[in-house]
Amino acid sequence: QVQLVESGGGLVQTGGSLRVSCLFSGGTFSYYTMGWFRQAPGKEREFVAAINWNEITYYVDSAKGRFTISRDNAKNTVYLQMNSLKPDDTALYYCAAQLRGRNVDNGESYSYWGQGTQVTVSS
């Protein structure tokens, strides 16, 4: 059974940086499309970024130029480097996985989810 465990969240000031990580286990990591989603209080879950098995990356417009998704197949880990953080980035960040997935920005397409890691950006 695939399991995902996020880490690296925390409190950061506006303009700061943070890197969140997601450790994958229970499957062949390199076969999976990995995504990052976030949910702020009172808001719907939102796609942030994804990286497929060929390391092609995808971003929501608000993340382009500020966030970078990457993966290390040797470590079974996907990362989200977040720079120039804003208070609007405050949310619970979730890692998700789909096998050979192509519908990268739709949360319904992901089979596995982590528990989330909190990112809080203070103004």
Q: Read off the amino acid at residue 108.
A: E
Closest by Cα among 97, 98, 80, 100 to 89: 80
* Per-residue confidence (pLDDT) for residue 69, from 0 to 100: 98
Give pLDDT, residue 101.
Answer: 78
Q: Looking at residues 21-38, what average pLDDT do you find?
A: 97
Average confidence score pLDDT of the chain:
97
Helix (H, G, I), strand (E, B) or coil at 50: strand
pLDDT at 117: 98
Q: Is the pLDDT of residue 102 over 90?
A: no
Q: What is the mean pLDDT of residues 91-104?
A: 93
